[in-house]
Amino acid sequence: MSKKRLLSVIVAAAIAASAVMISSAADNDIYFTAVNNTLLDLTAATMPVKYKSTLYVPWSVFSSKELETSALYSRGSQTVVVSDKDKTLYFDMSAGTTYDENDRAYSFTAIYTNDTAYLPAYHVAAFFGINYSYIRSDQGHIIRLSRDGYLSDADFASGAETLMQTRLSSYKALIAAEETAKPTFAPSPSPPAPSPAYTEPPQQPQPGEDVTIYLSYLGINENTEDVLDTLSSYGYKACFFVSAGQTVDHADTVRRIMAEGHGLGVLFEKDFETEYKEASDALKSTAACRTFLAASDHALSSDELDAIEESEIVIWSGGTRPASRYEAINAVDRADVRCCMFIDSDNDFTSSLLYYLRSYGCRFEKITELTLPER
């Protein structure tokens, strides 16, 4: 057995064992989940579970516009990523670790049960500034996650009582029906027909799996070395658009960009012809390279684009210019075929963005003179 196969077996066995332990450790109480003023459906797949005195909810609970958080679970890599517009939590279940976008480690972890990932409700809520409540009720206990400005816990529990009764009755009836429907086995006078060959269930599409991402940076500065380290760790290539002044001030960084196979282009502000010539001369002197790529630090009009296109230079424009990781991820979610990102050099969210997108099925392509820009 190969080392890779052996590792897969060990990880799968560990996950399976943890699921059994969680299931046996859970008590028999009924738990409801509520988000703001909404009582979620009561099913075996969505009900919170209790493990070692900590209550966990399915990861999908935090994929919520109402809670202002997004979440992604990758079963293959056994990771969960939860983020809002400011912060991110990374759960690695195979390693049993949790850390944030600044690589700060936390003692709480995710667990695997009911064939999916569960997150510690209180700890995740506290991290993102979400209100967490544990409401006791005759119908069952409620784990409530909410933002400010909603009903009090007492008013919510009172208003939800009838709906809780209805959903609890439906849940119990479903469980009873499943027990009744369990097959019984009796001797058969003839040998059973051969079972059909096993086929793998169809793979669910991964978000962004048909999207090609073109990643570029407008300008370079003292943060660019860290960006290059991150890109190198993921094996992704980007294109850096630089001005003449930046090329001179960060000559070593420019040479590293070239040496590591990233693209280089000219960044201009107003006077395209003058700035392109100055930056081209600086690139030739600093890194002995020539580029026909250019990008503006502001949106160009159709007239400006038409004028520039008369030259041999390929101008990159359009696309998206995200100011945060949250905006970048939303851009990928909305894209159908391609997503061109222009990230300002002052925005330092490359590490958390690439970690999140690793669980997507995206392709990363480097911008070159042969890549057709958007119009």
pLDDT in the model for residue 67: 92
Cα–chain center distance at 54: 25
Amino acid at 110: A
Contact call for residues 287 and 258 (beta carbons, < 8 A)? yes
pLDDT in the model for residue 251: 94
Distance between CA atoms of residues 141 and 135, nearest Å: 6
Q: Average pLDDT per run of 10 along the chain, which is 375 residues long?
A: 44 46 50 90 81 90 90 84 89 90 89 90 94 85 85 86 86 74 52 50 54 92 92 91 94 93 90 88 90 82 72 77 85 85 87 79 81 59
Residue holding tokens 């159908």?
336
pLDDT in the model for residue 198: 45
Bridge-partner residues for 327, per DSSP? Answer: none
pLDDT in the model for residue 154: 87
Bridge-partner residues for 90, per DSSP? Answer: 81, 99
pLDDT in the model for residue 9: 41
Q: For the chain, what is the largest distance between any 2 Cα atoms, rounded to a whole number of angstroms?
A: 92
Distance between CA atoms of residues 32 and 35, nearest Å: 10
pLDDT in the model for residue 295: 87
Q: CA–CA distance from 87 to each of 4, 70, 129, 226 (Å)?
A: 33, 11, 11, 19
What residue ranges define each of the domains in the chain, with the CATH number in brackets?
3-69+109-170 (no CATH), 212-365 (3.20.20.370)
User: pTM of the full predicted structure?
Assistant: 0.51
